Amino acid sequence: MEVGKVIYNILSNNATISNLLSTDSNTRIFPSRYNFSKNVKLPYVTYQMFADEPNNTKNGVSTYDYVRVQISIYDNNYADMITLAGLVRTALDYTSGTYNGVVVDKIFYQDQSELYDDTAGSIGLYGIAQDYRFNINR
């Protein structure tokens, strides 16, 4: 998943976000889901691509894709989760550049919805799922 390289690069290289998501040498940014252990560390972020739409041309294969991604932010404190979600949006929205060899024309924030899992741990888990469109040059 090429877009995963972009997400991980941007978020892990943002000092404020990395500070919140790092313990020792581990950064809690995961593709698709977090592999829970006995001692779950919070907060954490997951990302998942849910659509990859080519920009078809008359002359050949697409050289430009619209990749849609959901990025989910989880914490056991609502206010902290809201703060981290805002930082993630600020880091990604309307960003462009080359990240680990992947050329991003632009990233667009699209929407978000709140989640809550009352079966997670003793106090539950708050989350926000944010949707983005990544315009990727192939």
Q: Domain range spanning residue 114?
A: 2-137
pLDDT the model gives residue 71: 98
Rounded distance between C-alpha atoms, residue 111 and residue 2, angstroms? 22
User: How do strand 29-31 and strand 64-75 relate by DSSP bridges?
Assistant: unpaired
At residue 5, φ and ψ (nearest 5 deg) are -60, -40
Q: Are 42 and 24 in contact (CB under 8 A)?
A: no
Rg of the chain in Å (alpha carbons):
16
* pTM confidence score: 0.92
Reported as a single tens digit per residue, the pLDDT across 60-95 is 888 999 999 999 999 999 999 999 999 999 999 999
Residues 6+ apart with CB under 8 A from 79: none
Q: CB burial class (10 A; 0-12, 13-18, 19+) of residue 83? A: middle
Burial 13-48 (b: 16+ CB within 10 A, else e): ebeebeebbeeeeebbbbeeebeeeeeeebbbbbbb
pLDDT the model gives residue 110: 98
For the chain, which ranges sit under pLDDT 50? none
Count of domains observed in the chain: 1
pLDDT the model gives residue 38: 62
- Cα–Cα distances in angstroms (integers) from residue 24 to residues 20, 21, 27, 46, in the given order: 12, 10, 8, 19
pLDDT the model gives residue 12: 96
CATH of the domain at 7: 3.30.2000.30
